[in-house]
Structure 1
Amino acid sequence: MQPRVFISSTYYDLKYVRESIEQFIESYGFDPVLFESGRVTFEHGRSLDTSCYQEVDSCHIMILIIGGRYGSATSQQEQNIDYEKYDAEYTSITKGEFETAAQNNIPVFIFIDKNVYAEYQTYKQNITLFNKIIKENNSFKFAHVDSINIFKFIQEVSKRPIKTFERVEEIIEYLRSQFSGMFYLYLNKMRTEPSNKTILNSVNELNTVTSKINSIVEALGRKMIDQEELKQIEDQYFKTIIDVFLDQFSSHVAYAIQKKTTKANIKRMSDKLASILIEDILIFDYTKTNDYESYSNQINEILLTKVKEQIPNLIIKDFAYFWINSTFFDKINPLIVSDERKQELHSLLSERIRKDLEYRVLE
């Protein structure tokens, strides 16, 4: 049996991205499901989107790619949509596919075009103004999106881990890391559960999944993993988890700088803020309180005070502390097993803050 991977996106604007990902999925021995490749079974008398939703339900993984086009409405809504209206609200087929995957607990890897995500951040921080402008004058347009429904869609999927991209190679590299990490977790679970030792004896049967992990599979067949290979996988898994966390971090924080500054000053501010977050803010154990609102307000106050004292030119406009803290404490903190890891976290967090600040201040 091959894992089936459903690739969901609009077609014409992302045609070549879909083709590249299809080839990548096939190289792993998985079965990519795309309607243009004849992998979706269309039943007589059923609409195209209904057939797609049924196919989603039979898949093991979904890859969702969001670009600048929102796409056509579902068959239930299509006749009632005025596509000329920029703010016409409706559910697209792509959104319907995602909702089907979510309802059926299918893992979804979400990728958003970096330019589209940047415009989403602008929209999110000025949503009242944009809604007023669009309502009064429908001629307003964003540069990279054809409907504000895209922003609402992004807002919905942002509750999950997302990854922005500029080139299809970034998607492929991310998926490669994710597949490796998922396989590592599975194998590690098999090693730590005595009742499943018999499964380890047949793990070599999985070597058709990918040649990239053949050496690890063979080692597992001998009931051992070379420590250097294991370290490489753990390091890659750590970077992947951090990358996902930082994408979410960026969407849960809003900054402002009181006056114009230089890139060098932004770098210093980023380093300092990363240190404050790692040493003084993210370390709190959220599980020890039941009053999450008071807890978040208290820690936010500590953060604002430290930033005011140590980085006076920086203003934290919005900081979704509870989400950031709980995600960090549950997912990241257990992986910080050495000073080297802690330093790497600091470098990656500082670099992400720097990029976010430069985008908002120097654009």
Structure 2
Amino acid sequence: MAIPRVFISSTCYDLKHIRENLKYFVKTIGYEPVLSDDGDVYYSVDAHTHDACLTEVATCQLFILIIGGRYGGEHKGKEGSITNNEYREAVKNKTPVFALVESAVYSDHYTYNSNKKTNPEFYEKITYPSIDNIKIFGFIDEVRKNSLNNAIVSFNDFSDMEAYLKKQWAGMMYDLLAERTRNDNARITNRLIDDLTIAARKSEELIKVLLRTADAEHAEEKISEVDLIAKARSFPNLLANLFSTHYVSMSDVNQLPDPREHKYWYDFLIATNDFVITKNVVNGITTCFLHDKGKVYLELGSESELQNNTIGFNEIQSAFEALKRVDPEIRKSILEEFIVPF
């Protein structure tokens, strides 16, 4: 039976007792601990030992990072220490990271950051008793400022670490079980949507049959009109799919530009003054972007594609064409959807 492998990353000698305790703890959970100083890492004859550690990180499902007072050895051929690069490898592989830092180091890190603001000329020259290299504080900042999985917790002794990891791993297990339930619910919802889509198509076909039966002479004309209205009504929804909203900052539908005065859907949006086109030139190619006021942007395509109307977005353009052709009252009711309701 496959079991999770847990990579334990830290400087070895100053944290040896902590590493031993963690190894025992991981085993009691039923997982496999991986420690470089225990011979758990395969040292390939064709690779440096530092790179072998990074290769081993990629084979693990969990990563425990312990930051103590020693910086450790520099990684051969890479910036930072061996521990730094083991952590970066875990982040690159999206391996769940559980970061712990000695409380004395964590306290000095706070002092370091305070000095950095108040004494910018001297903060790096100050001696911090808990560390042997000021780069440790930079590493703590790297972990804290990561956009994801950036929790970092201080510890006084192993009991603090054990309590923290038990809670975190229990939470992870709960998350995995809850995700299974969410996936099951999503599958049920998707099946219902598929069933509703089929039912809607059947209803559409039935309406067409009834129209042809009731008024054969004008049936096709009425069917085309229904199709046109349905397509026009899809315009706000298609826009919301692209920009997360279809509302504009106007309070009166009569203030909106007339769609019939604009050839393309994005021209209409620009005329509302809530959208703007920007251009970016890379290697001589100009790319156009459509931005809304919420800073959401959409890549339209190259400038030449925009000029030749070959940018795609056929569905929303088709809906916009339908909006221009429907009855004025229907068009007004559709445009009213662009006004924020109060």
TM-score (norm 1): 0.48
- Give the distance between the partners of 2:25 and 2:42, measured in 1 at CA: 22
The CA distance in 2 between the partners of 1:37 and 1:196, in whole Å, is: 44
Residues 1:152 and 2:138 aligned together: yes
Mapping of residues 70-85 of structure 1, within 5 Å: 70-76=71-77
Alignment partners' CA distance in 2, 1:166 and 1:19: 16
Contact 1:10 1:69 in 2 (8 A): yes
Deviation at 1:130, TM superposition (A): 6.0
Greater fraction of residues in helix: 1
1:354 match: none
In the other structure, the counterpart of 1:269 is none
In the TM superposition, what is the alpha-carbon distance from 1:189 to its structure 2 partner? 2.6
2:101 and 2:294 map into 1 onto residues whose CA distance is: 35
Tell me the distance in 2 between the aligned counterparts of 1:115 and 1:96. Answer: 23
CA distance in 2, matches of 1:59, 1:162: 20
Q: Which amino acid aligns with 2:167?
A: S
- Residue 35 of structure 1 deviates from its aligned partner by 1.0
Residue 177 and residue 143 in structure 1: after superposition, are their counterparts in 2 closer, same or farther (change >3 A)? Answer: same
SS at match of 2:122: helix
The Cα of 1:185 is off from its aligned counterpart by 1.6
Q: Tell me the residue number matched to 2:25.
A: 24
- Measure the CA separation in 1 of the matches of 2:184 and 2:60: 30
The alignment status of 1:107 with 2:108, answered yes or no, reads no
Residue 155 of structure 1: CA displacement? 0.6
The aligned runs of 1:90-239 (5 Å cut-off) are 91-127=80-116, 132-133=121-122, 140-159=126-145, 160-194=150-184
Within-5 A mapping of 1:229-308: 290=294
CA distance in 2, matches of 1:144, 1:19: 22
Change (3 A) 1:58 1:169: same
Please say if residues 35 and 41 of structure 2, whose CA atoms lie closer than 8 Å, have aligned partners that are also in contact: yes
- 1:233-258 superposed Cα distances (whole Å, 9 cap, x missing partner): xxxxxxxxxxxxxxxxxxxxxxxxxx
Q: Would you say the 8 A contact 2:63–2:98 is kept in 1?
A: yes
Task: Label 1:54 to 1:131 Cα distance change in 2 as closer, same or farther (>3 A).
Answer: farther
For the Cα contact (< 8 Å) 1:190–1:196, is it kept in 2? Answer: no
1:196-245 CA distance string (max 9 Å, x none): 99xxxxxxxxxxxxxxxxxxxxxxxxxxxxxxxxxxxxxxxxxxxxxxxx
Q: Deviation at 1:179?
A: 1.1
Greater RCO between the two (CA within 8 Å, min separation 6)? 1
Structure 1 residue 194 displacement after superposition: 3.2
Following superposition, the deviation at residue 66 of structure 1 comes to: 0.2
Larger Rg: 2
Distance in 2, matches of 1:65 and 1:48, equals 20
How far has the Cα of 1:126 moved from its partner? 1.2
Q: Aligned residue for 1:52?
A: 53
8 Å contact kept, 2:43–2:49:
yes
Return 5+ residue gaps in structure 1 as ranges. 78-89, 198-288, 292-363
Aligned to 2:44, the other structure's residue is in SS state coil
- Give the drift of 1:76: 1.4
Q: CA deviation at 1:188?
A: 2.4
List aligned pairs for 1:340-355, cutoff 5 A: none
Find the aligned partners of 1:191 and 1:100 in 2 and give their Cα distance: 31
Structure 1 residue 290: Cα displacement: 4.5
Secondary structure of 1:71 counterpart: coil
- Give the RMSD, CA atoms, in angstroms: 2.3
Amino acid in structure 2 at the alignment position of 1:65? I
Aligned partner of 2:212 in structure 1 is none
Q: C-alpha separation between the residues in 2 aligned to 1:149 and 1:131? A: 16
Superposition deviation, residue 134 in structure 1:
6.7
* Identity %, equivalent residues: 36
Partner-residue secondary structure (3-state), 2:101: strand
Structure 1 residue 184 displacement after superposition? 1.2
Equivalent-residue separation in structure 2 for 1:157 and 1:167 (angstroms): 21
Check the 8 A contact 2:108/2:128 in 1, yes or no: yes
Instruction: State the Cα distance separating 1:193 from its structure 2 match.
Output: 3.8
* Count of aligned positions: 185
Counterpart in the other structure of 1:267: none
Q: Secondary structure at the match of 1:126?
A: helix
Residues 1:130 and 1:97: Cα distance change in structure 2 (over 3 Å): farther
